[in-house]
Structure 1
Amino acid sequence: MATANTNLSQYDKSRLPSAFSFKYAIVKAQWNEQITNGLYKGAYDTLIDLGALPSSIHTIEVPGSMELIYGCRQAAAIRPAVDAIIAIGCLIKGETMHFEFVSMAVYHGLSQLNLSLTMPVIACVLTDNNLEQSIARSGGVHGNKGVEAAVTAVLMSGRRVI
């Protein structure tokens, strides 16, 4: 892995735009909650750190990663409209093909939303081989992908298709 032993979640706040005037939705899967809670905390705290108001961050919880697609569509209907949506989930490989099918379906669905919605959908869905990898990427030794998703959401805010 090219990023082994690297924490990619550090950012320079002075080089990023303020999130103050934007609204965000975070759609979080409850499955693998230990991991998704860590990713959510990273995303939420980063949005706040970059200037978003707590009242400007809407949270929608869904049962699992497959439901993220529907949850993101619900988030897109929030009025006044959100400027970016972050989809948070965690899929851990098992002994069957289920992991591959669900991973592909989730990423395909989120990609389709990016083509059809007027705001960006940021995919923060871990697809790891084991729980240890997920822990390392949700606030562990490899940082927190939720932080990276929030930074991406801030960078993409205001780039709405009208």
Structure 2
Amino acid sequence: MSTANHNLSDYESDKLPSASDMRFGVVVSEWNPNVTEGLLEGVLQTLQNQGAAPDQIVVQYVPGSFELVYGAKFLAENAKVDAVIALGSVVRGDTPHFDYVCQGVTHGISYLNATQTVPIIFGVLTTDNMEQATDRAGGRYGNKGDEAAVTAIKMVALKRGL
């Protein structure tokens, strides 16, 4: 859904399951930290608002968005978490590098979702410019981090409900 018509931070907290007995891994790209730190802030706030204690959230950093795939896999296999949230920001430049990174991260996260035993949440912004990224990392369109945290909680509940 277009963020122009939907604020990424809008959710009904009373309709979400409690996260008080859930454990989360968050892997964060160090590239574009003005964006990724905003995303992380959204994730942490939303998870804690839903009952997750700080010690139930493992945060690890990787150099760039391409490395999110390995970081997510590592957390899923080693951190004893119920879900992993991958946070990154890829901003289009003058070369095709943007396309390769976006494609690699998207395919990598998709592959992990098909092969891991915990859900891997795609919280990667792929934008044409930095303004679009900051608009979605706590700016005028809300915070994709909030949306990623809500998705993680729902996916853990889905898995536990089956």
Residue number in structure 2 paired with 1:42: 42
| Secondary structure of the corresponding residue to residue 152 of structure 1 | helix
How far apart, in 2, do the equivalents of 1:46 and 1:53 lie?
11
| Secondary structure of the corresponding residue to residue 135 of structure 2 | helix
1:126 to 2:125 alignment: yes
How far apart, in 1, do the equivalents of 2:65 and 2:85 lie?
12
Residues 37-75 of structure 1, C-alpha deviations (whole Å, 9 max, x = no match): 000000011000000011010001000001001101110
Residue number in structure 1 paired with 2:11: 11
TM-superposed CA distance for 1:77, in Å, is: 2.2
TM-score normalized with structure 1 length: 0.94
How many residues are matched? Answer: 160
TM-score normalized with structure 2 length: 0.94
Residue number in structure 1 paired with 2:88: 89
| Secondary structure of the corresponding residue to residue 78 of structure 2 | coil
TM-superposed CA distance for 1:7, in Å, is: 1.7
Kept in 1, the 8 Å contact 2:8–2:146? The answer is: no
Residue number in structure 2 paired with 1:107: 106
Gaps of 5+ in 1: none
- Equivalent AA in structure 1 for residue 16 of structure 2: L
TM-superposed CA distance for 1:10, in Å, is: 1.5
- Equivalent AA in structure 1 for residue 131 of structure 2: E
Residue number in structure 1 paired with 2:134: 135
Residues 75-123 of structure 1, C-alpha deviations (whole Å, 9 max, x = no match): 01234x2100000000000011100011000000000000110000000
| Secondary structure of the corresponding residue to residue 77 of structure 1 | helix
TM-superposed CA distance for 1:5, in Å, is: 6.0
- Equivalent AA in structure 1 for residue 156 of structure 2: S
How far apart, in 2, do the equivalents of 1:63 and 1:37 lie?
13
How far apart, in 1, do the equivalents of 2:76 and 2:50 lie?
22
| Secondary structure of the corresponding residue to residue 81 of structure 2 | coil
Gaps of 5+ in 2: none
How far apart, in 2, do the equivalents of 1:106 and 1:113 lie?
10
- Equivalent AA in structure 2 for residue 100 of structure 1: D
| Secondary structure of the corresponding residue to residue 67 of structure 2 | helix
RMSD: 1.6
Percent identical: 47
| Secondary structure of the corresponding residue to residue 118 of structure 1 | coil
| Secondary structure of the corresponding residue to residue 18 of structure 1 | coil
Kept in 1, the 8 Å contact 2:8–2:136? The answer is: no
TM-superposed CA distance for 1:9, in Å, is: 1.1
Runs (4+) off by over 4 Å: none
Residue number in structure 2 paired with 1:21: 21
